[in-house]
């Protein structure tokens, strides 16, 4: 069975043409995914010209074919300034070469300097409706709910943006199967679009899944730039995947957004619902409406007989909704999407529209849209 170690061993002899050093040793073979006999990876290049790319692509494909790989998906990008400096030293490679991928600080600085074509989404006149998705603790499926609600709204013809505001625990790009990074167009950051949803996440700017070791002020600055320095275009909804709990990041988001609603995610367990009440109370104290409660992992339904087993107990979502004087939007059962890596729209966590859980998310989206319609009327 193929492994990442086997792939790295097969590619180790391939050298970066200018530096004449192994791409593997430079750690310039990135984002590797191995599924049976299929491999997907990103190759970092010092100079991304067509001739060099073709040469490297052919050598990579030949070596992987010899190693037993039947299907190869390659992406190429130029090295960032930091990667160039680490690989060759500043005296060998000039920084700021044309076309290189900027660091996330450079990306955000350029976006800030750009004149965006549309109103910033924080402008009350933009008409954007903000929905923050929160939980009292981690592990209850908050990000899964955020991602699938965003996709469900997009399926209904809504223009949707998604901000992965869980800076320490970013997961949205991976959950949605996103392999690209944001582009820069005329100095503005362009979010990545997937399933009709425009996405911005710290995960786009962190190398090799490294941890974020920042204090509160830096986190708040990054979040604000996600709001004001990105060319979102025209949007109807912006969903925010908040970090669990009631820490600095969640408070910053509540202070940045003058008008928003909030969905609280919990499991049926009494303790999870008790802790989630704090997140709801924080929203209310900062003058944000609680739109409703989603009870995730509500039960396990046997695919053969249809019997429901309430593994984590019952009633937590309803009790939380009662405590917060709001409604229970849905009870989502345990399950995983029936997706296969060979599908062109593969993602690990997005449920298809024709699946039972996908339909539940469509129902939540309908409730959300109806709520805003009634409010407007």
Q: Would you give the DSSP letter of residue 83?
A: H
pLDDT at 367: 94
In CATH, the number for domain 124-376 is: 3.40.50.300
pLDDT at 375: 62
For helices 270-285 and 316-323, angle between their N-to-C axes, nearest 10 degrees: 20
CATH 3.30.300.130 boundaries in the chain: 4-101
Q: Give the C-alpha separation, 376 to 229, whole Å.
A: 29
CB-based contact 230:192 (threshold 8 Å) = no
Residues in the chain: 377
Determine the longest span between alpha carbons in the chain, in angstroms: 69
CB-based contact 137:272 (threshold 8 Å) = yes
Residue reference for tokens 């997937």: 194
Which residues, in sequence order, are CB contacts of 86 under 8 Å at separation 6+?
A: none
In CATH, the number for domain 4-101 is: 3.30.300.130
27, with CB counted inside 10 A (0-12, 13-18, 19+), is: middle
Residue reference for tokens 């690990």: 348
Of the candidates 226, 230, 232, 223, the one whose C-alpha atom is nearest the C-alpha of residue 251 is 223
Average pLDDT of each block of 10 consecutive residues along the chain (377 residues)?
81 86 84 79 79 87 88 80 63 37 44 51 80 88 95 94 84 88 78 92 69 51 75 91 71 68 91 85 77 94 88 92 92 88 80 93 94 71
pLDDT at 242: 86
CB-based contact 240:170 (threshold 8 Å) = no
CATH 3.40.50.300 boundaries in the chain: 124-376
Q: Give the C-alpha separation, 364 to 70, whole Å.
A: 41
pLDDT at 295: 95
Which residues, in sequence order, are CB contacts of 341 under 8 Å at separation 6+?
A: 33, 35, 38
Q: Give the C-alpha separation, 110 to 206, whole Å.
A: 18
């Amino acid at each position: 069975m193929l492994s990442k170690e086997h792939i790295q061993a097969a590619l180790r002899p391939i050298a970066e043409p200018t530096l004449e050093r192994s791409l593997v040793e430079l750690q310039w073979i990135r984002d590797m995914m191995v599924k049976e006999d299929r491999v997907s990876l990103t190759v970092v290049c010092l100079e991304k010209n067509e001739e060099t790319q073709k040469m490297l692509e052919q050598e990579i494909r030949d070596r992987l074919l010899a190693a037993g790989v039947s299907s190869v998906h390659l992406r190429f990008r130029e090295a960032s300034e930091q990667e160039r400096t680490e690989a060759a030293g500043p005296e060998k490679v000039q920084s700021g070469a044309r076309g290189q991928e900027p660091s996330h600080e450079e990306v955000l600085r350029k976006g800030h300097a750009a004149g965006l074509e549309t109103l910033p989404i924080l402008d009350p006149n933009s008409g954007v409706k903000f929905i923050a998705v929160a939980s009292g603790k981690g592990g209850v499926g908050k990000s899964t709910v955020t991602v699938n609600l965003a996709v469900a709204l997009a399926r209904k013809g809504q223009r949707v943006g998604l901000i992965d505001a869980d800076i320490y625990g970013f997961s949205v790009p991976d959950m949605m199967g996103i392999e690209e990074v944001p582009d820069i167009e005329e100095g503005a950051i362009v979010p990545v679009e997937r399933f009709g949803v425009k996405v911005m996440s710290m995960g786009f700017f962190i190398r090799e899944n490294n941890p974020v070791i920042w204090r509160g002020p830096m986190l708040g600055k990054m979040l604000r730039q996600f709001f004001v320095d990105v060319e979102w275009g025209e949007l109807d909804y912006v969903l925010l995947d908040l970090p669990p709990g009631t820490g600095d990041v969640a408070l910053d988001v509540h202070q940045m957004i003058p008008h928003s609603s909030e969905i609280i995610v919990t499991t049926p367990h009494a303790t999870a619902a008790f802790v989630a009440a704090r997140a709801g109370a924080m929203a209310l104290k900062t003058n944000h409406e609680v739109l409703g409660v989603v009870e995730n992992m509500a039960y396990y339904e046997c695919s053969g007989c249809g019997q429901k087993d309430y593994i984590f107990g019952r009633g937590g979502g309803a009790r939380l909704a009662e405590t917060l004087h709001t409604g229970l939007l849905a009870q989502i059962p345990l399950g995983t999407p029936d997706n296969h890596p060979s599908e062109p729209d593969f993602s690990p966590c997005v449920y298809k529209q024709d699946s039972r859980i996908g339909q539940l998310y469509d129902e939540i989206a309908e409730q959300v849209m109806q709520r805003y319609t009634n409010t407007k009327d």
